Amino acid sequence: MKQVKKYPAAITIFGAKGDLTKRKLIPALYNLFTDHHLPSVFTIYCVDFLEVDQEEFRKDMLAGINEFSRSGVADVVKWNEFAERLFYIQGDFLKKGTYENLDEKLKAFEKQNEQNSTRIFYFAIAPRFIEIIAEALYKHNLCNRDSLDRIVIEKPFGTDLDTAKKLNRFLAKRFTEKQIYRIDHYLGKEAVQNIMAFRFANFVFEPLWNRKYIDHIQISVTEQVGVGKRGGYYDSSGALRDMIQNHLLQLLCIVGMECPKAYKSEVIRDAKTKVMKSVKPYTTAQVFKNVIRGQYTGGTINDQPREAYRKEEQVQSTSKTETFVAAKLYIDNERWKGVPFFMRTGKSLPAQSSVIVVQFKDTPHKIFKDDIVPNRLIISIQPELEISLLFESKVPGLQMKLKPVEMDFTYKESYTETIPEAYEALLLDVLNGDATLFMRADQIEAAWKVVMPILEAWEKFPAKDLHMYKAGTCGPTAASTLLKPYAKEWYELPFNKTEKAIPNLKSAQ
């Protein structure tokens, strides 16, 4: 097997003083370094407009590792080795001097090592700077080698279909598609990646993965937190743009995709995009029947008071922005025709969890009177990384009595290896030039096409059917009504792991 040459890596992070850099990116890079996944020769340049002393910056990044890294407090020797290659560059994103300075440093790094380097430019910045930085990189020839230079862009990628198309066209004139990595950290989560292995490496499930055997599918990403200090951004975005358009639709693609011909980047991205393009669009009237939006009012979570959304910092007092969305979508193809995919996300809910529930159809010929719970597959992404299968079993004794039981697989019990953070997996893929877990331009646009009829309906009727729900509750009651006749209520992971939430998803028929 031909080995891929490993080049030195020059990683540039724009937005050095931002939360993402301190909490996620530097801890991820540090863990990749300590686990020997980074090239032996690398450098990290962190750029921002504030004047910060080099050593003070390094101390701040060390504090971020100590607080947020999965590996805990940094090892002194390893940190010192890592810190020697971590540099802060003061520079205004709007001024060419910033890029000229960066160009000099990158060239000096490559000259010192007497070879080219893989150049990664991470945009950990507000969306308004994406085009500004991209243009500067292009003009100063900092990112012009197709096989070595890459840019990484965080969501939101556009605010609607038109802006996403415009941004795609803008970037396509300056970089090749293989250089652009549109990152969604959800796709880097271990449990999300395992869905593909679970589906396509275990033939026992794939023959059942279709409309003949599956009744419906639920995809829930619930958040206990409110908007916090993100009110300014969130009030112009909302849950549909912030979560459904990217995270949840990506999960839908992985659950709904056809088996790819090979585990290769473009083949897998083709399969995901095909699913997205098959999601049936809604008319305005259909939106209000199949999509529920809500906004949290004051309440309590863990016995602590929670302000109403409209009283949060930088949120308008008359805001109609949704903090909760539940939707019923259909994939219009041969495999899934008629099977509803229920999606739900919201803030200020009772618990933080991400779960996919595959509800199988009921037993066609019932011979046992207490055969009342259909088979169910539960894929928990967080807080527990777990896959469980619900099935009926005979209770020990002299009578034929059935009871639903769960067969569990948990990472904690099955593996001793520590689980890497999502950003570790994704940053390593960028370094290796593997775009499998990243979104392509056409997939981004297809996702926007799914949500645009909903956004347009809400814009046309901003106050219609905006359901209020108390913080700390499970959302608007209308969200459960949306499930009928397939289920009475949304599946909730049990708060106490010794309890099973078996009765929670009985058929409403």
- Note the pLDDT tens digit of each residue in 224-271: 999 988 898 899 999 999 999 999 999 999 999 999 999 999 999 999
CB 58 within 8 A of CB 83: yes
Mean pLDDT in residue range 387-400: 82
At residue 192, φ and ψ (nearest 5 deg) are: -70, -45
Mean pLDDT in residue range 369-389: 84
Active site residue 467: no
In the block, tokens 């415009």 appear at 166
Residue 105 burial class via C-beta count within 10 angstroms: exposed 0-12, middle 13-18, buried 19 and up: middle
DSSP H helices, 69-176, are 76-83, 96-113, 130-139, 161-172
At residue 5, the pLDDT reads 59
Q: Which of 175, 333, 172 is nearest to 252 (CA)?
A: 333
Q: How confident is the model at residue 372 (pLDDT cuts 50, 70, 90)?
A: low
Q: How confident is the model at residue 390 (pLDDT cuts 50, 70, 90)?
A: confident
Tens of pLDDT, residues 272-310:
999 999 999 999 999 999 999 999 999 999 999 999 999
Q: Which of 358, 355, 323, 329 is nearest to 475 (CA)?
A: 323
Tens of pLDDT, residues 183-203:
999 889 888 988 999 999 999
Mean pLDDT in residue range 71-79: 95
**Selected catalytic residue, list 36, 185, 216, 247:** 247
CA 209/CA 360 separation, integer angstroms: 9
CB neighbour list of residue 306: distance below 8 Å, 6 or more residues apart: 226, 296, 298, 299, 300, 348, 471, 472
CB neighbour list of residue 2: distance below 8 Å, 6 or more residues apart: none
Q: What does each C-alpha distance from 367 to 372, 373, 398 come to in angstroms?
A: 11, 14, 18
The secondary structure of 155-213 as a DSSP string is SP--SSHHHHHHHHHHHHTTS-GGGEEEE-GGGGSHHHHHHHHHHHS-TTTGGGSSTTT
Lowest-pLDDT range of 112-121, 158-167, 199-208, 394-403: 394-403
H/E stretch holding 273: helix 265-278
Q: Which of 190, 217, 162, 137 is nearest to 377 (CA)?
A: 217
Lowest-pLDDT range of 337-341, 424-428, 496-500: 496-500
Tens of pLDDT, residues 91-106:
999 999 999 999 999 9
H/E stretch holding 215: strand 214-222
Amino acid (one-letter) located at 107: K
CB neighbour list of residue 78: distance below 8 Å, 6 or more residues apart: 30, 33, 34
Dihedral, CA of residue 422, residue 423, residue 424 and residue 427, to nearest 10: 130
CB 27 within 8 A of CB 65: yes
At residue 502, the pLDDT reads 45
**3-class DSSP state of 378:** strand
In the structure encoding, which two tokens stand for residue 499, read together? 């309890």
Q: How confident is the model at residue 362 (pLDDT cuts 50, 70, 90)?
A: confident
H/E stretch holding 294: strand 291-297
At residue 295, the pLDDT reads 97
